[in-house]
Structure 1
Amino acid sequence: MRITKEQFKTDFRQRVQEKFTNEVEEASNGELFASLGAVIQAYYSDEWKETRKATRDDKCKQAYYFSIEFLPGRMLKSNLLNMGLLDIVRDSLKELDIDLEELCKIEKDMALGNGGLGRLASCFMDSIASSSLPGNGNGIRYDYGLFKQKFVDGNQVELPDEWLREGNVWEVRKASKAVNVNYGGHVYLKEDEAGRLKPVYENQQVLRAVPYDTGMVGFQNDMVNTLRLWSAEIPDFEESNYRSIEERRDFRDLTSVLYPDDSNYEGRLMRLVQEYFFVSAGIQSIIRSHKKSGLAMKDLAEYIAIHINDTHPALCVPELMRLLIDEENLSWEKAWDITVKTMSYTNHTIMAEALEKWPVFMLQEVVPRIFQIIEEIDRRFVAEMTSLVDQEVIERTRIIKDNQVHMAHLAIIGSHSTNGVAKLHSDLLKGIVLHDFYVLYPERFNNKTNGIAQRRWLQLANEPLAGFLDQTIGTSWRKEANDLHLLMNYKNDSTVLQTLADTKRLNKVRLAQYILETTGIEVSPDAIFDVQIKRLHAYKRQLLNLLHILKLYFDLKADPNADIYPRVFIFGAKAAPSYTYAKYVIKCINEAADLINHDEEIQGKLKIVFLENYNVSLAEMIIPAADVSEQISLASKEASGTSNMKLMLNGAVTIATLDGANIEIRDVVGDENIVIFGLTEEEVYHYYETQNYQAIKIYETDSELQRILNAFIDGTIPNIQVEGQEIFDSLIRYNDEYFTLRDYHSYVEAQEKIERLYRDKKRWQQISLINTAEAGHFSSDYTVRRYAEEIWQIEPVKG
């Protein structure tokens, strides 16, 4: 995009004048940010329009990525970078005595997700556009993000995340594209004049689904795709069945929050309605566009690919069937053929208990016609398989069993592709978790290891490193991530190694300043910054990290002069509001931090910092400063992980189990450039088979672990009487579900190796360099191209 500084300043001044009847010099930062966003959106609006026109005129096959979560974070600098305007706008604003970084802080994180699932979806949106692929996102425009996390007396407290309070400069409301979504009531089938069975609905509720479109700007390629997020509105009174103000308000609240509290029936009901709402709205919109293009419905799969990101959008399968049969009058057989060819599904979990299931009665209540279609899909599947496989296999794989609808089964049976998100994960799906389905449909299963958008996670998050890479290996890596490998030519260059270390320290100083300002804790940038940032969950084993910290603390209490390299342990994590155990872990970490951070005897050698409200913007500050990347989930539990890739890209050294994508990181960096510990996936499953794991025996025979675990219940860590007992019992009384005690000593040895490596400055710098150099392998650009070629069959739009 060819915009000069003079043109930008003129456009910017004019927009401030038009929008706020104000001069730049007198405007507030909020006014300046809103004006800047409007200018930037105006700059890419033509490309956005042309992208839509090109895909329509060329009748390109398009992909639609359905996800209940999207976590784009702040978009100002990302848009500027991708448009090639970052330096021009930054310099222009500086000449107007305006700091771009200060304006960036005005923007609220678009935090419409819980963690990796939503961030992956957003990395994919960036990469799809940057690869010139015709692909769109489809999700929900939540009025509030997940929640704003605060710590009160060490406890997580959830506050509303009012990200839309000042509006969203990037979205465009498209009232003309609104559709009605019907749910509830009763339905029965009746023959029409042609003898076809048609549904007759009674007492349905109606929601107006209004789309808000956000441009997904590709990296310097004039491509702008669309992320469409749906908001629920009440239709005109005569169109709806809402009888009271309260009833109208209840369902206007449908798109208020991500993941309503599912610890009660009303919350679960709301979540199911949410899932159907964005699925139905999205597929109706797709079909309407397809018909408007003059294309035959029987050819839908040749022009449309619909991707089900995890099980939340699995109702895509019966909803497309409903529309094809009930609205478009296709036969069941033709509709089913189209649906299977159109749909594809990504599984994001190994844990069977995490695979979504809904009680039959809830589907009958919320989406009665959809349930009828699911029943028929299930009936036909059973009939088809009866002559092919044993009855036991059919019972394990059918969609409806034990009065529950198994959403993963629906997604697998109703699509042509099921992929895992790391090699180990995909192998476990085929070999164990979904083995029966793999036997039935071996051609449908494939692996697509996750990736990250290195534009955000290096070019934006770590400008000091990005600038140095430009000077050292040229700029081609900005478009072709694998060119980071050119850095390997400098792994023995002491000047390059030292400069990389200097950029790391710059980022550590910045983070240390943020920690001081927000927590009052003073940390040294010369200490090892040991980072674990991810959702708080027992299987991710933040608890194992804490056990090691307590070991170091007790070692220092026994000998304050012990030769332990200073460490700052940094946590960032939210626990689901109803996940009590995870909240107990947060409380224990915070109380241990309060104990350790204020103990003068240990001379500041250990610090714990648990940063509140972990989100994309905070990750962008933590990740460039990290020395150590904690990837310590129990082997076989983490599907992939992407924080491992982000931290690797920024030169952190990984301490890891052989889980998820950690295995592939090891494969590309080499065993000597990653620190591996713990049980393997085979050993974990051996314990499951033999049932001979006894955590209490480890405890009874290990004085070191006794000392650490007793600290949770003997008052050593203050203010955790309830929480500490629960954690102690989870390990000893309930037999340590995630083998934390079994992996403890292996983890301690791995941490000792980390310390030895860090003391050898040149060796550490080399490992750090190698991690950055090999991280291009995990660019989401390559991941989405594999999806495009092997699953969606879409091709780049010719520019």
Structure 2
Amino acid sequence: MFNNKELFKTAFKEQLVSRLGKSMDEATAGDIYKILGNLIREVIGREWAETNQEYKSQQQKQVYYFSMEFLIGRLLGNNLLNLGLLETVRDGLLELGWNLEEIEEQEPDAGLGNGGLGRLAACFLDSLASLGYAGHGCGIRYKYGLFEQKIIDGHQVELPDDWLQKGNVWEERRPDKRVLVSFWGQVEISEENGRTVFRTVNDEKIWAVPYDVPVIGYGDLHVNTLRLWSAESAMDPARMRMQGQNSYYKFLDYNRSVESISEFLYPDDSGYEGKLLRLKQQYFLCSAGLHSVLRTFEKLGRPYTELPDKVALHINDTHPTLLIPELMRILIDDQGFGWDEAWDITTRTVSYTNHTLLSEALEKWPVNMVRELLPRVYMIIEEINKRFCGMLLERFPGRQDLVDQMAIIESDQVKMAHLAVVGSYSVNGVAQLHTDLLKQDVMKPFYELYPERFNNKTNGITHRRWLMHANPELSRLISETIGTEWILNPHQLLKLEEYKDDPAFQESIMRIKRGNKLRLADYIRQKQGISVDPDSIFDVQVKRLHGYKRQLMNILHVMHLYNEIKDHPSEERVPRTFIFGAKAAPGYYLAKSIIKLINVVADVVNRDPQMNGKLKVLFLENYSVSLAEKIIPAANVSEQISTAGKEASGTGNMKFMMNGALTIGTLDGANVEMHEMLGDDNMFLFGLRSEEVLQYYRSGGYHAREMYERDPRIKRVMDQLVSAGPFCCHDLEFGLISQSILDLNDEFFVLRDFGSYADTQAAIDRAYLDTQAWAAKSIVNIAHAGHFSSDCTINRYAADIWKIRPVQPAIQV
């Protein structure tokens, strides 16, 4: 529609008049955003249709990535970048009197995800489209996101994240592609023509209606689809009214129950009703998505025996594991296959990514709940378990202990991770250490049984959003220095190593970093009224708040620094600005106490005149993708300090690395692979190794109170949590934190690693004083970040797991 600035301006003004009946003088920022989105939709509409037609005509294998989360962030800027229209639109809008960055602020972050799991899925979709693979996302269109976080008197307060309040310019409702999903009921068994037939009766049916979002690839226009399902009533309200008042009230109850399925991302599951709703959501996603996939497959005119050759179903964590019994149900009940044939098709079609080493995070569902809500699906799970346990007893006679350990149904619980491993052909971890620990510990018996299924695929991030869009000045400098080939082949970033000692290049890197810090400082001043020093070290920890991620260790160290400055006010110090951003799950009271502690410490530090020019602490509320795009390019230090062996991979570590921040971290997750490339000179390591942590868990020998008594730094900050002092709350709110460390023996070894962490932080101060050496380290980090591009990761998934190839010539990575 437009390929230069003048054509864009003409098209834009015409759309403004025809769609909104407004002139440029009357338009609001919201109007400008809406028209821009509509223009982009028109630009890519034909290519979207042509991409789908191309897939159909070439009949190549397609991947469907099932995930409960897709943390896609804002799409306007990213879509303009991938279309090659970013500069054209920016310049054209400026001449029309508008700033593109201001217009981008009109777009809400899509409330479709929470943390790394969802952001990984979003990066993968971007890479699938950009590399020319036939790969689509399948998720739920949540009316409300996790929550909008407000900090009031230091406390996290959760408000509804009503991200759809003004509509979503990117989505297209597809009522013609809706499917029925069934809950409850009873299974009737009969014999027909010599075969056993299963029918579910008295079930409750609802409509799953898809909303499609285009996923625009970079460069050659290639548009995949993120299909998001919304739950809608399958009953006719007028008919229910006619049947009497009681029937109508029943309809209202039913309708409310239906709406709740796609209402909230991660409803509170602390009670039975919340657990039931989560299970409903998971089956809703699996059943609706699978029916849609099979509808597309049937259009190929191929027999179902060829399904594994044309379709790859990928489970992102255990949430979509019900894909396995649902596919079995469809193959057996609807398509007439016998068990063995159906099982063969299923286990050659489904693959599974594990995302956790925490046993409490491996999903389990009460047997009664699954049996009542999904009676036929439960029968199939029960049969899978029976056959699997029978096979184990044949192979390992007398080993009932092993059977109990590996069973899918055990102690009245359905173990979803076990079902995912047994019912898939590939099980991958998301960092080499994570995969090794899966094999050696968490899933050891399954690895010994199915060694060929286990493989590693280290996570990745899309450099298009996290470097080109989030940090355009750095992106331009890289292209001016080594050419533009790195955009299509991120491994080419390695050429930057040649410039690590170049004074002019170092100066440019530090100038760009300071410019990003000034922009973040301006944002902080506008939002919180606090001035921060752009020449201080910006030390950043932004991620979901959880005990193993150890934000607690970070803030305890800040308290220690405060004590040191108070004790020795005349000492020269390298100025530090500590920046936190995190959401705690609403029912995770310890995590919410840590948020309160961070805010109390920030208040004390920022009000103390002795800290001026030495120490500042910020907690930035409502952490999101769009906020991360402001924070990450400005960071000097990236906090990746999880307990070794607990973080599956991490992707924040990669984003900071790509933007030139130096990592302080443990040898955990993908930090291990970062260290293999960067060495000791270009990141700051501390703390226990994963094997040491594992030994403590297995054999004991760790005593937190001994660490407390032995190290006066630790004793002082721990005492300040509960006794009179600058950080102690009058209601003793931080007693829960103290108890978790001293009475419950510090599950995540905060005190054990504190001394090493504090010493390493002191080493960072010394390193930062050498500006040239710091710049060189930063350049080395950027140079090696291409290894963690999601393009590289997706190519490995495509070749090793999904067995797909690009529908058009791929970007070589």
Both structures adopt the same fold (TM-score exceeding 0.5)? yes
Q: Distance in 2 between matches of 1:137 and 1:720?
A: 49
CA shift, 1:564, in A, is 2.0
Q: Is the 8 A contact 1:276 1:315 kept in 2?
A: yes
User: Equivalences for 1:188-267 in 2 at 5 Å?
Assistant: 188-192=188-192, 194-237=193-236, 243-267=250-274
1:434-473 Cα shifts (integer Å, max 9, x gaps): 0000000000000000000010000000011111111111
Match of 1:90 in 2: 90
User: Equivalences for 1:102-501 in 2 at 5 Å?
Assistant: 102-192=102-192, 194-237=193-236, 243-389=250-396, 390-501=399-510
SS for the counterpart of 1:614 is coil
Q: Is the 8 A contact 2:154 2:599 kept in 1?
A: yes
1:387-419 Cα shifts (integer Å, max 9, x gaps): 112332222111000000000000000000000
Q: Distance in 2 between matches of 1:380 and 1:37?
A: 52
1:484-531 Cα shifts (integer Å, max 9, x gaps): 111111111001001100000000000001111111111100000000
Amino acid aligned to 1:137: G
Q: Distance in 1 between matches of 2:611 and 2:150?
A: 28
Q: Is the 8 A contact 1:343 1:416 kept in 2?
A: yes
Match of 1:579 in 2: 588
Q: Distance in 2 between matches of 1:206 and 1:419?
A: 35
1:186-240 Cα shifts (integer Å, max 9, x gaps): 2232222x12222232321111000000110000121100000000000132999
Q: Distance in 2 between matches of 1:382 and 1:120?
A: 34
Q: Distance in 1 between matches of 2:732 and 2:221?
A: 57
Q: Which shifted more, 241-250 or 392-401? A: 241-250
CA shift, 1:773, in A, is 0.7
Match of 1:592 in 2: 601
Q: Is the 8 A contact 2:722 2:728 kept in 1?
A: no
Match of 1:710 in 2: 719
Q: Distance in 2 between matches of 1:683 and 1:168?
A: 49
SS for the counterpart of 2:734 is helix
Q: Is the 8 A contact 1:214 1:228 kept in 2?
A: yes
Report the TM-score, using the length of structure 1 for normalisation: 0.98
1:134-180 Cα shifts (integer Å, max 9, x gaps): 00000000001111000011000000111111111110001100001
Match of 2:733 in 1: 723
Q: Distance in 2 between matches of 1:722 and 1:213?
A: 50
Distance 1:604 1:250, change over 3 A: farther
Q: Is the 8 A contact 1:215 1:224 kept in 2?
A: yes
Distance 1:619 1:575, change over 3 A: same
Amino acid aligned to 2:227: R
Unaligned runs of 5+ in 1: none
Match of 1:634 in 2: 643
Q: Is the 8 A contact 2:2 2:8 kept in 1?
A: no
% identity of equivalent residues:
51
SS for the counterpart of 2:259 is helix
Amino acid aligned to 1:254: I
1:541-567 Cα shifts (integer Å, max 9, x gaps): 000001111111000011112222110
Q: Distance in 2 between matches of 1:385 and 1:690?
A: 29
CA shift, 1:253, in A, is 2.0
Match of 1:757 in 2: 767
RMSD value, Cα:
1.3
Amino acid aligned to 1:205: E
Match of 2:687 in 1: 678
Where does structure 1 differ by over 4 angstroms across 4 or more consecutive aligned residues? 238-242
SS for the counterpart of 1:571 is strand
Amino acid aligned to 2:266: Y
Picking from 491, 511, 515, the partner of 2:520 is 511
SS for the counterpart of 2:72 is strand
Q: Distance in 1 between matches of 2:489 and 2:710?
A: 54
Q: Is the 8 A contact 1:587 1:720 kept in 2?
A: no
Q: Distance in 2 between matches of 1:319 and 1:739?
A: 42
Q: Is the 8 A contact 1:632 1:657 kept in 2?
A: yes
Q: Distance in 1 between matches of 2:206 and 2:12?
A: 39
Q: Distance in 1 between matches of 2:605 and 2:98?
A: 41
Q: Distance in 2 between matches of 1:285 and 1:104?
A: 33
SS for the counterpart of 2:533 is coil
SS for the counterpart of 1:405 is strand
SS for the counterpart of 1:288 is helix
Q: Which shifted more, 301-310 or 474-483? A: 474-483
Q: Which shifted more, 629-638 or 722-731? A: 722-731
Q: Distance in 1 between matches of 2:382 and 2:513?
A: 57
Distance 1:282 1:190, change over 3 A: same
Q: Which shifted more, 736-745 or 385-394? A: 385-394
Q: Which shifted more, 15-24 or 449-458? A: 15-24
SS for the counterpart of 2:88 is helix
CA shift, 1:2, in A, is 6.7
1:702-749 Cα shifts (integer Å, max 9, x gaps): 222111100100132143633311111111111000010000000011
SS for the counterpart of 1:711 is helix
Q: Distance in 2 between matches of 1:244 and 1:334?
A: 41
Q: How many residues align?
A: 798
Amino acid aligned to 1:558: D
1:651-690 Cα shifts (integer Å, max 9, x gaps): 0000010000000011111221111000001111111122
Q: Distance in 2 between matches of 1:510 and 1:602?
A: 23
Q: Is the 8 A contact 1:308 1:346 kept in 2?
A: yes
Q: Is the 8 A contact 2:493 2:782 kept in 1?
A: yes
Q: Distance in 2 between matches of 1:399 and 1:124?
A: 30
Q: Distance in 2 between matches of 1:746 and 1:676?
A: 9
Q: Distance in 2 between matches of 1:596 and 1:537?
A: 24
Q: Distance in 1 between matches of 2:205 and 2:729?
A: 50
CA shift, 1:701, in A, is 2.2
Amino acid aligned to 2:615: L
Q: Distance in 2 between matches of 1:517 and 1:93?
A: 24
SS for the counterpart of 1:31 is helix
CA shift, 1:264, in A, is 1.4
CA shift, 1:692, in A, is 1.2
Q: Is the 8 A contact 2:229 2:288 kept in 1?
A: yes
Q: Distance in 2 between matches of 1:18 and 1:257?
A: 36
Q: Distance in 1 between matches of 2:553 and 2:574?
A: 20
1:292-348 Cα shifts (integer Å, max 9, x gaps): 221211111110000000000000000000111111111111110000000000000
CA shift, 1:798, in A, is 2.3
SS for the counterpart of 1:439 is helix
Q: Is the 8 A contact 1:713 1:721 kept in 2?
A: no
Q: Distance in 2 between matches of 1:432 and 1:316?
A: 26
Q: Distance in 2 between matches of 1:195 and 1:207?
A: 32
Match of 2:244 in 1: none
SS for the counterpart of 1:712 is helix
Amino acid aligned to 2:788: F
